[in-house]
């Protein structure tokens, strides 16, 4: 899964790089992957996309609910939840790929699934998007619509006995907020990832809301996290506070030891002194 700050970065880069280019060919599922998903028969992707011009790109917010890279064409829509890479004309292409798009100028766009990912291609006629595609549209933390009232509504809709990690990073309650960005959000909010919602007071809740907004916005504005790569294979400029990159470093606030534990199907990183 590409998380929301990187979705925003990728969408901006895709729009600048590919807008106006015409798709010459498309190959999907050339190297089958057990956790690669397509819309319909991937063998039909060439017919769906060939001759289409790239119009724009967005981080899944224009048509759906965020958490994907949406590439809008004249008569087609690509929805991608896996890394996207640009290849200049004549550049070496990946040995294995789950989607490869060739453009008329000789450049390429490729997707190579790592853990899992969706590469959905839809034909769109005069009616616009496929029926029902935009029904789950909702605000994300980068938008004004994701305000305190909206956040409180999400909070009130879940059992108070679940953990903060379960609330923020599961069920796609907040599209594009996954286990990766969660770590710095909770560090900045000074909240432990295992903490139950019912144990948080009003100040804790306010810090948590503010951190969701400001931390993710900073990640986006600094070009994505340094644990992830952009369209051109470059690491992001945002220096993660808590990640595999910093595990052996001291906590930047108290100087204590950062802890890594397995929890809810993934690793959590935290400072036991600063996050209570």
Coil vs helix vs strand at 179: helix
pLDDT digits (tens, 9 = 90+) for 34-45: 999 999 999 999
Q: Domain 4-125 has what CATH class?
A: alpha beta
Task: Tell me which of 228 and 61 has the higher pLDDT.
Answer: 228
> Would you list the domain boundaries of the chain?
4-125, 148-270
pLDDT, residue 114, reads 85
Please state, rounded to an integer, the average pLDDT across all residues of the chain.
Answer: 93
DSSP H helix total and E strand total for the chain: 6, 11
Give Cα separations from 58 to 39, 158, 198, 262 (angstroms).
Answer: 19, 29, 36, 33
Pick the CATH number of 148-270 from 1.10.220.10, 1.10.8.50, 3.40.50.2000, 3.40.50.300: 1.10.8.50
For the cut 90, the answer to whether the pLDDT of residue 240 exceeds it is: yes
- The pLDDT assigned to 215 comes to 98
CA distance 218 to 210: 12
- Which residue is associated with the tokens 């981080």? 59
Q: Are 123 and 76 in contact (CB under 8 A)?
A: yes
Q: What is the DSSP letter of 42?
A: G
Q: Express each pLDDT in 143-202 by its tens digit.
A: 999 999 999 999 999 999 999 999 999 988 998 899 999 999 999 999 999 999 999 999
Please determine, for residue 64, whether its predicted confidence score (pLDDT) is greater than 90. no
Its pTM stands at 0.93
Q: Look at residues 241, 151, 181, 133 and name the one whose alpha carbon lies nearest to residue 9.
A: 181
Q: What is the pairing mode between strands 69-73 and 266-270?
A: unpaired
187 phi, psi to nearest 5 deg: -65, -45
- What residue has token string 């991937």? 42
* pLDDT tens, residue by residue, 203-220: 999 999 999 999 999 999
User: Do the beta carbons of residue 91 and residue 102 sit within 8 Å?
Assistant: no
Question: Residue 184 has which token pair?
Answer: 């710095």
Q: Strand 69-73 vs strand 54-58: parallel, antiparallel, or unpaired?
A: antiparallel
């Amino acid at each position: 899964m590409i998380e929301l700050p990187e979705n925003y970065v990728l969408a901006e880069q895709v729009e600048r790089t590919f807008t106006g280019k015409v798709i010459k060919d498309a190959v999907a599922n050339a190297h089958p992957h057990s956790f690669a998903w397509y819309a319909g028969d991937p063998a039909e992707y060439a017919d769906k996309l060939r001759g289409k011009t790239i119009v724009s790109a967005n981080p899944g917010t224009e048509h759906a609910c965020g958490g994907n890279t949406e590439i809008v064409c004249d008569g087609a829509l690509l929805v991608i939840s896996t890394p996207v890479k640009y290849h200049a004309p004549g550049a070496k292409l990946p040995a294995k790929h789950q989607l490869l798009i060739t453009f008329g100028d000789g450049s390429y766009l490729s997707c190579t699934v790592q853990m899992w990912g969706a590469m959905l291609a839809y034909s769109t006629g005069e009616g616009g998007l496929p029926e029902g595609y935009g029904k789950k549209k909702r605000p994300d933390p980068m938008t004004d619509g994701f305000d305190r009232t909206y956040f409180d509504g999400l909070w009130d809709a879940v059992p108070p006995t679940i953990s903060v990690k379960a609330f923020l990073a599961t069920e796609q309650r907040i599209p594009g907020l996954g286990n990766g960005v969660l770590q710095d959000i909770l560090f900045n909010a000074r909240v432990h990832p295992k903490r139950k919602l019912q144990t948080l007071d009003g100040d804790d809740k306010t810090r948590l809301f503010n951190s969701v907004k400001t931390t993710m916005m900073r990640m986006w504005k600094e070009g994505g996290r340094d644990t992830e790569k952009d369209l051109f294979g470059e690491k992001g400029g945002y220096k993660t506070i808590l990640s595999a990159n910093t595990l052996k470093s001291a906590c930047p606030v108290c100087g204590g030891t950062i802890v890594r534990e397995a929890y809810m199907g993934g690793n959590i990183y935290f400072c036991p002194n600063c996050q209570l």
